[in-house]
Amino acid sequence: MRILILLLFILSSCLSCKRGKDNSISSNQELTKKKNVVFILVDDLGWKDLSCYGSDFYESPNIDRLAAMGSVFTSAYTPNPVCSPTRAAILTGRYPSRIGITDWIPGYDPKNKPLLGPNDLYELPLEEVTFAESLKDEGYKTFFAGKWHLGDLHFFPEDQGFDINKGGHHKGSPPGGYYSPYKNPRLKDGAVGEYLTDRLTNESIDFLENNKDDPFLLYLSYYTVHTPIQACKRYLGKFKTKQKKLQDSIPQLEIEGSGKTVLNQYNPEYASMIYAMDENVGRLLDKLEALNLMEDTLIIFTSDNGGLSTLKNNRIAPTSVRPLRAGKGWAYEGGIRVPLIIKKPGSSEHKSIDTPVISMDFFPTILEVLDLPLKPTLHIDGLSLKALMDNRKHEHHKVLLWDYPHYHGSGWTPGQALRKGDWKLIYFYEKDEYELYNIKSDISETNNLVQQNPAKLDELKTELRALNNYLKTKGPKINPLYQK
């Protein structure tokens, strides 16, 4: 009799574990019904580097396929024109200046210039809470593959909420290049000749297959198309042939500060890297469909800064983002405006959204789309994009700030920029000069309206001062050792 009672108790306990409070489904079953996240970040991908964003030379049929079933943002921005600050902002929902990372790690701080950039951090502080940590707390399996560039040992992805890390370490470019051996402390070498972009996708597909029954976050952070520009050999011939048919098959250049900007897309090696990346995005989409995960998955595809189109010291950049001005390293549109495509779970509706948005918006967007509570004290500078995608509103941020108080190899000198509505202010510390543009009528930022519109200049200068005070930004200092 005692044995029977014990058996009945065990059976009852098991059933209560399988049933929720509403006597419906188990907590494990509830977890499997949660929506998933696939976040794809491409390094240095320019606003004009995809055919769905207007490129005639590069080809991106699979990303175009994603764009056809999601929201395409035409005025998406990163909060900084270089990588590490933006990557920190994506993960935390906070302005880079608030975190203390305002340059790529470890940065470019020449000692022979009039100004010295502020000291900033070389890693994302562990006390910062990432959206990976938030999802992990909700029972998600979290996976990272590719470029990290937010700190060395003890500050890797596995220290910031990711269960699995394939290739994420402190370097900003692949130390062994794009072909195995990779010389990567967090990625085993593949067969000789294996292409890094393929390998990172293989690792991601393996993760999908092994975790298809559980809610997951897959963060695929491609090293491509960052330098070194190393062609995907299987597609190089295709684009060399295409290059020969171009009207301008060699780079056309324009002076930008102490650098030069490329005005045309001409580089077959770069084009092959874009095409290989696109092929791998297609493989990932195909696997989601094959595993019946597409309808339950939020997909975000974007870049960490503008395309590398402007360089100094007579170096020729690999791409062009025209009609935008300048490129990576500059707070003109070419350095901060990037592709952004978001496909919501359960929806294949295509739409184009021109409202300005920024990288900090991803954290709250992920939470809201996944039906999780927002955490505004964490993602304090981000706003969810769900209402924009649902056509419930068209306005978003009142103002946006770009704080880049450092020099850069593109020729940029320390400065800041601010956008409010259609208007954009740029400030350069060295010369204590402002520039004013109407982005709606002048996307190429060619007509400086400082003299014509002093009232708007004063208005935006006031906004800039307020944001600097709010974020406690750190400007550069005069270099006491500088000699002209």
Structural domain includes residue 18: no
Structural domain includes residue 423: no
Q: Specify the CATH number for the domain of residue 112.
A: 3.40.720.10
Query: Nearest CA to 207 among 289, 302, 284, 298?
Result: 284
User: What is the pTM (predicted TM-score) of this model?
Assistant: 0.93
Query: Nearest CA to 414 among 77, 79, 103, 76?
Result: 103
DSSP codes, 335-364? HHEEEEEEE-TT----EEE-S-EEGGGHHH
Residue 109: what pLDDT?
A: 86
Structural domain includes residue 279: yes
* Inter-residue long-range contacts of 66-70, CB under 8 Å, 24+ positions, other chains counted: 66/281, 66/285, 66/299, 66/301, 66/341, 66/343, 67/341, 67/350, 68/350, 69/343, 69/347, 69/348, 69/349, 69/350, 70/299, 70/341, 70/342, 70/343, 70/344, 70/347, 70/348, 70/349, 70/350
The tally of domains found in the chain comes to: 1
Q: Residue 294 and residue 104: Cα distance in Å, rounded?
A: 34
Per-residue pLDDT of the chain (484 residues; tens, 9 = 90+): 344 333 333 334 443 333 333 333 334 444 447 999 999 999 999 999 999 999 999 999 999 999 999 999 999 999 999 999 999 999 999 999 999 999 999 998 899 999 999 999 999 999 999 999 999 999 999 999 999 999 999 999 999 999 999 999 999 999 999 999 999 999 999 999 999 999 999 999 999 999 999 999 999 999 999 999 999 999 999 999 999 999 999 999 999 999 999 999 999 999 999 999 999 999 999 999 999 999 999 999 999 999 999 999 999 999 999 999 999 999 999 999 999 999 999 999 999 999 999 999 999 999 999 999 999 999 999 999 999 999 888 889 999 999 999 999 999 999 999 999 999 999 999 999 999 999 999 999 999 999 999 999 999 999 999 999 999 999 999 999 998 8
Q: Residue 336 and residue 142: Cα distance in Å, rounded?
A: 28
Structural domain includes residue 274: yes
Domain that holds residue 316: 35-396
Structural domain includes residue 426: no
DSSP codes, 276-328? HHHHHHHHHHHHHHHTT-GGGEEEEEEESS--S-EEETT---S---TTS-S-T
Structural domain includes residue 292: yes
Structural domain includes residue 228: yes
Residue 392: what pLDDT?
A: 86
Query: Nearest CA to 433 among 420, 456, 450?
Result: 450
Structural domain includes residue 161: yes
Residue 395: what pLDDT?
A: 85
